[in-house]
Chain A
Amino acid sequence: MTAVSVPAPTAAGDDSEPVQHPPAEGEVAVTLALVQRAQAGDTEAFGELYDRYVDLVYRYVYYRVGSAQVAEDLTSETFLRALRRLGSFTWQGRDVGAWFVTIARNLIADHYKSSRYKLEMTTDDVTESGASLSQEGPENAVLEAMQNKVLLEAVKKLNAEQQECIVLRFLQGLSVAETAQAMGKNDGAIKALQYRAIRSLGRLLPDGVEL
């Protein structure tokens, strides 16, 4: 499962985190210190932030736009924008990763509005490669690859919020709390959203794909 450096609880479903920001601790404190150093002009600190979050941002963008090229472009733009706005970042109790994801989310929204957006599915390469990683036999692998492709295409048909929730919560394996941070919502809202998203996705899938 995707490992993400977000607030301490690794057990999924921790829904007791209050909305008010408790003092930063653990991993959050580390990343917060990096942000502060970066704001003070320590360029290497920003490099470390980048190292920690580039994969997360890239995957988030990729799953939502379905194209490696676009994912690279938007990932670049995300970090450049984060760098420009570093001075105005103030910690609001969310993990720093959520801040990057927020920037990426806005860029994706702009992307969809712009003429660069293409509707064709470009997940072929991914699903086929994914199939090769499967431990199962060849027939199952092919079947699984096909199903993966169908699945991911269906995800892209969801509305933006549901799509994002599915990507973060399931494809990237964030917890409810982590997803809540990334999306700027509270846990209850995420629970409701994931429920609706799963149901929408189920309706989008042809019968028989869902096992």
Chain B
Amino acid sequence: MNPFGTRAAADFARALDGGTAGTLPGLALAARLRTVGGSLDEVVAPRAEFRDALRMRLLAVATVQATAQTTAPRAARASTPAVLAAPLASAVSWRHRSGAVAAGAMACVVAVSGVAVAGSQSLPGDPFYDVKKTVEAFQLLTADGDVEKGTQHLEFAATRLREIRGLTLGRDAADAGPELGPAAMDGGITLRSATQPLAGGEALSAGVAGRVKQTLAEMDEQTQAGSALLNEAYRESRTAAPLRVLSTFAGRQAAGLEQLLPALPPRTQDRARISLALVVAVAQTTDELLSTDACGQGCDPAAAAPTLPGGSVTGSTSSRTDAPCACAAPAPAPAPGPSTPAEPADAPRDEPSEEPDPEPTTAPAPTPSSPAPSPSPSPSPSGGGLPAPVPSLPVPLPPLPVPLPTLTPAPLAPAVEQLLPGTSGSSVSGSSSGSAPVPAEPTGPVPLPQLAPLPPRP
């Protein structure tokens, strides 16, 4: 700019702010503009409605992003393949009984099958999370048979865990986790836990904590539903494959939860321990069943059904300390032919008195069992909620508070109930999702992220 222009500009600037008489060209115009700006100030302003709505939306986005930004890098480091730090003192290892390789392979295939769907990466609170749930409901509808449905429930439970990980550690961490790799299939799964608790917990807002708790509850429901169905399938089919699916799932879930626990918001950790106890119990129960192979050819059909602690969604419940084998009909015919792999009933379960096993049990269970041969609900010795520590088990479970919250949908907010695709077996309640795969946005009562009513921070 030539010096002349610069000087004119400087003069102009000085005159503007010095308030000299409007002799320079443009000063009047500038003053006019200022007046216009001032008078329009009240008019040119964002609508209150718009301003408030945008604020709510920004806070919702910020809530999710805050966790990703603060913890994702550390989460990425912590979850690099399989190498976590020192093993937990009470590490438990589950071992797969060497069964038929084919059965194991089938279990793998069934367990890892999945369908990529729209919104599959979304987390609770995301705009399209309800789409994800709708698709899950649809998948349940189209699943055929107990094995498929049960496996589907377990996949959903695993997804819930991934979502909790994503909520806590950031989206990038949602798909990471304990890498169980090929060792999981032929060897044992050893629990490890990170020695350095991820410090992201403090940064999380109350909103995320609430979502984590809800998702934990949903995860438990899915776990129970899947477990019930797979146990039923085991009884009906007399093959161990459904149990292997369950065992693999439970082991993986337990490992994942164990790793995640220190990173969870402090207010959610108690709830998470309940979930952990559930999957641990499932794993142990399932492994017991697998080890006794009670529902093989020669099992005792009169024995009580093995079920989940706390009651399964399908309603056939009894204490998990009950007799392992409960094949299909209560009809007493003991297995023809070769007897009975039921004999290594050395498991800490005892057979019911009604029909003796072809082989006597070697180690009567120290815990009482429910008397009924048929699967009927009976109070477990540990109470109606969750398993209490069983003395016969090698590892004491963490003491659980009594009374325990039920794992049924009771505590869920109505909004979440509407989202849940009805975890009981084959029924899908409360949503019309079965008819429309992947609607862009559900039109029903599902609330989209009106996350304004975040629970107040305690």
A13 CB contact (under 8 Å) in B13, B42, B55: B13
Indicate with 1 or 0, residue by residue over B19-50, a CB within 8 angstroms of chain A CB atoms.
00000011011101110111111111111001
**CB-CB nearest in chain A for B43:** A129
Q: Are B30 and A198 in contact (CB under 8 A)?
A: yes
Asked whether any CB of chain A lies closer than 8 Å to the CB of B335, the reply is no
Indicate with 1 or 0, residue by residue over A28-54, a CB within 8 angstroms of chain B CB atoms.
000000000011111110110011001
Asked whether any CB of chain A lies closer than 8 Å to the CB of B184, the reply is no
Q: Are A59 and B44 in contact (CB under 8 A)?
A: yes
**CB-CB nearest in chain B for A191:** B13
- Residues of B with C-beta under 8 A to A2: 37-38, 41
Q: Are B39 and A130 in contact (CB under 8 A)?
A: yes
Q: Are B16 and A173 in contact (CB under 8 A)?
A: no
Q: How far is the CB of A6 from chain B (nearest CB, A)?
A: 15
- Residues of A with C-beta under 8 A to B59: 43-44, 46-47
Asked whether any CB of chain A lies closer than 8 Å to the CB of B67, the reply is yes
Q: Are A79 and B54 in contact (CB under 8 A)?
A: yes
Asked whether any CB of chain B lies closer than 8 Å to the CB of A199, the reply is yes
Within 8 A of B (CB), among A168-211: 170-173, 176, 188, 191-192, 194-196, 198-199, 201-202, 205, 210-211
Size of A's binding interface in residues, CB under 8 A: 64
Q: Are B39 and A198 in contact (CB under 8 A)?
A: no
A152 to B30, CA, bound (A): 13
Q: Are A39 and B30 in contact (CB under 8 A)?
A: no
A86 to B40, CA, bound (A): 32
Within 8 A of A (CB), among B180-218: 200, 203-205
Give the contact stretch, choosing among B1-9, B267-275, B321-329, B388-396: B1-9
Asked whether any CB of chain B lies closer than 8 Å to the CB of A21, the reply is no
Q: Are B16 and A211 in contact (CB under 8 A)?
A: no
Interface size class of B (residues with CB under 8 A): 35 or more
Q: Are B29 and A198 in contact (CB under 8 A)?
A: yes
SS of A interface (majority)? helix
A50 to B59, CA, bound (A): 10
Q: Are A130 and B65 in contact (CB under 8 A)?
A: no
Q: Are B13 and A170 in contact (CB under 8 A)?
A: no
Q: Are A50 and B33 in contact (CB under 8 A)?
A: no
- Residues of B with C-beta under 8 A to A147: 32
Asked whether any CB of chain B lies closer than 8 Å to the CB of A76, the reply is yes
Q: How far is the CB of B101 from chain A (nearest CB, A)?
A: 48
Q: Are B62 and A201 in contact (CB under 8 A)?
A: no
A195 to B13, CA, bound (A): 8
Asked whether any CB of chain B lies closer than 8 Å to the CB of A83, the reply is yes
B58 CB contact (under 8 Å) in A39, A55, A80, A127: A80
- Residues of A with C-beta under 8 A to B6: 188, 192
A62 to B44, CA, bound (A): 7
**CB-CB nearest in chain A for B60:** A43
Q: Are A199 and B65 in contact (CB under 8 A)?
A: no
The verdict on A133 contacting B39 (CB below 8 Å), with A43-B62, A46-B59, A198-B26 known, is: yes
Q: How far is the CB of A101 from chain B (nearest CB, A)?
A: 15
Q: Are A42 and B66 in contact (CB under 8 A)?
A: yes
- Residues of B with C-beta under 8 A to A196: 9
A95 to B43, CA, bound (A): 25
Asked whether any CB of chain B lies closer than 8 Å to the CB of A113, the reply is no
- Residues of A with C-beta under 8 A to B82: none
Within 8 A of B (CB), among A49-103: 50-51, 54-55, 58-59, 62-63, 68, 71-72, 75-76, 79-80, 83-84, 86-87
The verdict on A12 contacting B26 (CB below 8 Å), with A50-B58, A59-B45, A84-B65 known, is: no
Please list 13 pairs of residues, one from A and one from B, whose beta carbons are closer than 8 Å in the complex, sorted by A's number.
A13-B17, A43-B59, A46-B59, A50-B54, A126-B44, A134-B39, A170-B34, A173-B37, A176-B17, A191-B12, A192-B1, A195-B8, A195-B9
Q: Sorted from nearest, which 9 A-B pairs have the closest CB atoms?
A: A13-B17, A41-B203, A41-B66, A171-B37, A170-B33, A198-B26, A195-B9, A43-B62, A191-B13
Instruction: Give chain A's interface residues, CB within 8 Å of chain B.
Output: 1-2, 11-13, 15, 38-44, 46-47, 50-51, 54-55, 58-59, 62-63, 68, 71-72, 75-76, 79-80, 83-84, 86-87, 126-127, 129-130, 133-134, 147-148, 151-152, 155, 166, 170-173, 176, 188, 191-192, 194-196, 198-199, 201-202, 205, 210-211
Instruction: Give chain B's interface residues, CB within 8 Å of chain A.
Output: 1, 5-6, 8-10, 12-14, 16-18, 25-26, 28-30, 32-34, 36-47, 50-51, 54-55, 57-59, 61-63, 65-67, 69-70, 200, 203-205
